[in-house]
A and B are shown apart, each in its own frame.
Chain A
């Protein structure tokens, strides 16, 4: 699978990572190489093999329904680049 600049732009957009024009050519090359290398998996016949969900063989633990957390708005916003009136502040969102 060879990745071109358009694909780089598309996935960079999906991942919300700005990639400057200057980098995107080189990046396309690197990604193509890595994906090409990864594709050796296709040699392998995995017919009927279950995809691994987790390496730990146990049941998903369940928590009892009790209020044991929260109640510390200051800690929630303590590291915020910008907070106001107890809210996180972000550039205005227009729907």
Chain B
């Protein structure tokens, strides 16, 4: 547990995160308008989203389904009855004058997330709740000197607000939490997790305390739209609070706004003043009641999630925790690895996928799906390695050729005649010649210079362009010189 050192001693961070994740669905939470990203202003707005007089909300089944699936993925309690309430406040991009959200009765209750930390350690962070709510529109401030422009395309898009318990103690843990949450959402297909497109946004609740003491006053830093920024915001806010506290000051509970450009946050006192949301159940809607059988069917339909996959990779394939963690971090990678490992030496497969294959991917910048070498071809290479057709050294050479040409391993080995020489009589012949032509080196060896053996191996490899089976060469040399 990381603590930070102030002038007057150790301080501990207490961090909770509120993540707004945009739900993957065709239409909005309460209207039939499209959720596509980046359309012309107000072109994906229904009369409901624009809060025209007399317009009424009708709930999207897919939004409910996605929220329930996410709840199940977070091992959380699904509330069979939940209630949509109105959160009343005035803002330019909030057409109704209220946001339809869930307050006292969210659709999902307590759950948990397992963080995978650097050292392969894991740590559990509690989920407080998950609720459904409407996104707001977009205000554009830089188009006109005295006016802001309002685009309601985002207005009414479905968000899941996922609230953690204040269980994190360092910026690293906060980063790990967001990465893991994003992985789970992507496995479930309930949110694309693209923070740069705003489909996943984090608010950071942070307070400082002396280790072991009670929680202090927290601040909420809003609008942090990348994992790096979240970690920056935490470090910066933690230092700010420690300075205030150590100067004998008090932390005021406030909302702060993080600025990615400066990497600093500032208080939004304006927003603080006189906030009273006057939540009450939306009379245009009824309580949402879930059907138990439906929830069960959603549960049955969940994909294998990263934690289960990781366990299975470790138990079934005997992979070390680090390798398993790396391979499950992304669903596509995990699937790729499994098809390579199928019926082969899984550890060898893992080493190749994580090592040479990832290396080649990074170097070429290619997408896993579009790489010149697919799982089947990589498997083919591993087979040649396994049955001794080629040596490990040759395999690397073959792999590079495969990456450049997109050809099968076998074809390349064939064409370049790279098949390993494991015929002992052929090697014995070569060795006899070399011994015959190099009496001086033979004497040196006999005189006790063991190192000279390497020179003989080199000669054999030279004569075979490295195709001779190294084990066999050593064996034959020892015996003939012996």
Binding site for B on A (CB under 8 A): 10, 13-14, 16, 53-54, 56, 58-73, 75-77, 82, 84-95
Q: How many A-B residue pairs have CB under 8 A?
A: 138
By the criterion CB–CB under 8 Å, are A84 and B58 in contact?
no
Question: In chain B, residues 64-97, which have Cβ atoms closer than 8 Å to a Cβ of chain A?
Answer: 64, 83, 90, 92
Q: Across the interface, which residues of B come within 8 angstroms of A68, CB to CB?
A: 27, 32
Shortest CB-to-CB span from B61 to chain A, Å, is 4
A54 vs B83: C-alpha distance in the bound complex, in angstroms? Answer: 12
Q: Across the interface, which residues of B come within 8 angstroms of A72, CB to CB?
A: 43
A10 vs B276: C-alpha distance in the bound complex, in angstroms? Answer: 11
Shortest CB-to-CB span from A16 to chain B, Å, is 5
A67 vs B39: C-alpha distance in the bound complex, in angstroms? Answer: 14
- A64-B61, A89-B149 given; A84·B144 CB < 8 A: yes
B47 at interface by CB-CB < 8 Å: yes
By the criterion CB–CB under 8 Å, are A70 and B286 in contact?
no
- A53-B286, A73-B40, A76-B50 given; A61·B83 CB < 8 A: no
- CB nearest to B43 among chain A residues: A73
Contact of B32 among A14, A69, A95 (CB under 8 A): A69
- CB nearest to A68 among chain B residues: B32
Shortest CB-to-CB span from A67 to chain B, Å, is 5
22 A-B pairs (CB sep. < 8 Å): A13-B274, A53-B286, A59-B286, A62-B61, A63-B59, A63-B60, A64-B62, A65-B60, A65-B62, A69-B32, A69-B48, A70-B31, A73-B43, A84-B147, A86-B40, A86-B151, A87-B149, A87-B151, A88-B150, A89-B149, A92-B141, A95-B257
Binding site for A on B (CB under 8 A): 25-27, 31-34, 40-50, 58-64, 83, 90, 92, 139-141, 143-152, 257, 268, 270-271, 274, 276, 278, 281, 283, 285-289
Q: Across the interface, which residues of A come within 8 angstroms of B287, CB to CB?
A: 53-54, 60
The 9 A-B pairs of least Cβ separation, nearest first, read: A70-B33, A65-B62, A68-B32, A87-B149, A69-B32, A69-B46, A62-B61, A86-B41, A88-B150
By the criterion CB–CB under 8 Å, are A71 and B64 in contact?
no
Residue from A10, A65, A90 with most neighbouring chain B CB atoms (10 Å): A65
Shortest CB-to-CB span from B75 to chain A, Å, is 25
- A69-B46, A70-B43, A71-B43 given; A63·B32 CB < 8 A: yes
By the criterion CB–CB under 8 Å, are B92 and A73 in contact?
no
Shortest CB-to-CB span from B428 to chain A, Å, is 73
Contact of A58 among B40, B42, B150, B286 (CB under 8 A): B286
Q: Across the interface, which residues of A come within 8 angstroms of B61, CB to CB?
A: 62-65
Q: Across the interface, which residues of A come within 8 angstroms of B25, CB to CB?
A: 65
By the criterion CB–CB under 8 Å, are B32 and A16 in contact?
no
A63 vs B65: C-alpha distance in the bound complex, in angstroms? Answer: 12
A59 vs B294: C-alpha distance in the bound complex, in angstroms? Answer: 15
- CB nearest to A86 among chain B residues: B41
A70 vs B371: C-alpha distance in the bound complex, in angstroms? Answer: 39
A71 vs B148: C-alpha distance in the bound complex, in angstroms? Answer: 23
Q: Across the interface, which residues of A come within 8 angstroms of B289, CB to CB?
A: 59-60
A27 vs B105: C-alpha distance in the bound complex, in angstroms? Answer: 36
Q: Across the interface, which residues of B come within 8 angstroms of A85, CB to CB?
A: 41, 143, 149
A66 vs B40: C-alpha distance in the bound complex, in angstroms? Answer: 20
Q: Across the interface, which residues of A come within 8 angstroms of B276, CB to CB?
A: 14
Task: Give me 6 other A-B pairs in contact (C-beta within 8 A), A54-B287, A87-B143, A93-B92 excluded.
Answer: A67-B27, A69-B27, A73-B45, A87-B150, A91-B148, A92-B148
A65 vs B35: C-alpha distance in the bound complex, in angstroms? Answer: 11
Q: Across the interface, which residues of A come within 8 angstroms of B288, CB to CB?
A: 60
- A84-B144, A90-B92 given; A69·B257 CB < 8 A: no
Q: Across the interface, which residues of A come within 8 angstroms of B92, CB to CB?
A: 90, 93
By the criterion CB–CB under 8 Å, are A70 and B34 in contact?
yes
Q: Across the interface, which residues of A come within 8 angstroms of B63, CB to CB?
A: 65
By the criterion CB–CB under 8 Å, are A93 and B141 in contact?
yes
By the criterion CB–CB under 8 Å, are B286 and A60 in contact?
yes
Q: Across the interface, which residues of B come within 8 angstroms of A65, CB to CB?
A: 25-27, 60-63
Q: Across the interface, which residues of A come within 8 angstroms of B145, CB to CB?
A: 92
By the criterion CB–CB under 8 Å, are B42 and A76 in contact?
yes
By the criterion CB–CB under 8 Å, are B41 and A66 in contact?
no
Shortest CB-to-CB span from B64 to chain A, Å, is 7
By the criterion CB–CB under 8 Å, are A67 and B26 in contact?
yes
- CB nearest to B91 among chain A residues: A93
Shortest CB-to-CB span from A74 to chain B, Å, is 9
Q: Across the interface, which residues of B come within 8 angstroms of A61, CB to CB?
A: 58-59
By the criterion CB–CB under 8 Å, are B32 and A89 in contact?
no
By the criterion CB–CB under 8 Å, are B33 and A69 in contact?
yes
Q: Across the interface, which residues of A come within 8 angstroms of B62, CB to CB?
A: 64-65
By the criterion CB–CB under 8 Å, are A60 and B59 in contact?
yes
Shortest CB-to-CB span from B48 to chain A, Å, is 7
Q: Across the interface, which residues of B come within 8 angstroms of A58, CB to CB?
A: 286
Residue from B25, B32, B268 with most neighbouring chain A CB atoms (10 Å): B32
By the criterion CB–CB under 8 Å, are B44 and A70 in contact?
yes
